[in-house]
Amino acid sequence: MLKNTRPPLVQLMWSKDIVITNITLRNSPFWHFHPYDCTNVTVSDVTILAPISGAPNTDGIDPDSCEDVLIENCYISVGDDAIAIKSGWDQYGIAYGRPSSNILIRNVTVRSLVSAGISIGSEMSGGVANVTVKNVRIWDSRRGVRIKTAIGRGGYIRNISYSNITFDNVRAAIVIKVDYNEHADDGYDRNAFPDITGISFKKIHGWGVRVPVRAHGSNYIPIKDITFQDMSVGISYKKKHIFQCSYIEGRVIGSVFPKPCENLDVYDEQGQLLKSGAVLNSTEVDYDI
């Protein structure tokens, strides 16, 4: 029996001014590129490939407690999250206290048949802030963009902007999940509640999507200040609750299709309030995605 975990293919730690460009990374036993506690990282024109099933944890790019990161012009098709932003796990990430911040992801095409195209978390205990994701195509994936966390993580996820995102045959397009209860050990703080606030989605389009939005906070971890604007997603599965929401507050601006959940305030394109959101902390959930 192996006594060691599977290694990442490329891992750089406590470094700065890193440029990874014009290479292909293939079939890593674990994450393909893992910069840890690094500053000023550029990943450009990189292809990352792994089997799309039966290859667990073969994430493409996982910036972990990193600052000033640019990921652009990449193609990633792997057996887990294509890109996942992290900052430490439970009490260990809280103690280390190094957030991931100032991250720009643009002009990438990604696929994850098993997991998500672009994720934040679930290990985000040092905090994640100031992330911009734009001009992204996510195709043939189980989930499109995902935020995942849980009690015990602590930290924060804030000021996250998604724009000009295209989903092509994605089962659940936008997912925010606060019960991702995998822990490093049993020593995590049961009173460490992550804070999720300031998440915006603008120019979101696609087709062949089963569930466009699943945003479930909890009474301990509400989702605050979420915005949807200019959204039109062609759905492949009709159900009463197309937007699935609980414990969230925020707004819808202008045209959004399918019909958003009742939790959200509705504004017109000029910013005039049309309807205040209702206080609804549970909706019917279809877990079969």
Q: Of the listed 64, 80, 81, 90, which one is catalytic?
A: 80
Asked if 251 and 265 touch (Cβ cutoff 8 Å), the reply is yes
Q: Which long-range contacts (CB under 8 A, 24 or more apart) does 181-186 make?
A: 181/150, 181/151, 181/152, 182/122, 182/150, 183/89, 183/90, 183/150, 183/152, 184/89, 184/90, 184/91, 184/92
Asked if 73 and 108 touch (Cβ cutoff 8 Å), the reply is yes
Residue 80 is among the residues annotated as catalytic for this protein: yes
Asked if 234 and 207 touch (Cβ cutoff 8 Å), the reply is yes
63 preceded by a cis bond (ω within 30 of 0): no
Query: Which of the residues are catalytic?
Result: 80
